[in-house]
Amino acid sequence: MKKRVTGLGGFFFKTQDSDNIKKWYKNHLGLNTDSYGCTFWWKDQEGNDCSTQWSPFKEDTTYFAPSEKQFMMNFRVENLVELLEALKQEGVTIVGEMEEYEYGKFGWILDPEGNKIELWEPVDKAFQ
């Protein structure tokens, strides 16, 4: 099996007022925020363009379910289908079904403390 995690794809957290918190981070820390939060662009060791997403979510979001935590990490991965099968064989809790979009495949797992972790396999070099 190739590498599993290749980088941090994003950090998502719950907030009472996501619009206000995005404005605060923009005004005080200079984040270039939009309706989703802020995208950080960087290059991997091979020189490919990569991104990491920072996103505040509304406090009542169900996107982190079944976790009751205030945050969710997103990891960039290689070969999500193979990785989810390996994790399942290792006894890791898989949450829901894999989803595929024009910008990549997504799957979700729980760590031993109930933190939901999103796994993202980008589709092209622009997101890797």
Domain 5-122: which CATH number of 3.40.718.10, 3.40.50.2300, 3.10.180.10, 3.40.50.10490: 3.10.180.10
Query: What is the C-alpha radius of gyration for the chain, rounded to an integer number of angstroms?
Result: 15
CA–CA separation, 7 and 16 (whole Å): 28
pLDDT of 124 higher than 90: no
Query: What value does the mean pLDDT take over residues 14-40?
Result: 96
Structure tokens at 5: 């995690």
Percent of the chain topping pLDDT 90:
85
pLDDT of 74 higher than 60: yes
Instruction: Write down the H helix ranges in the chain.
Output: 18-29, 80-89
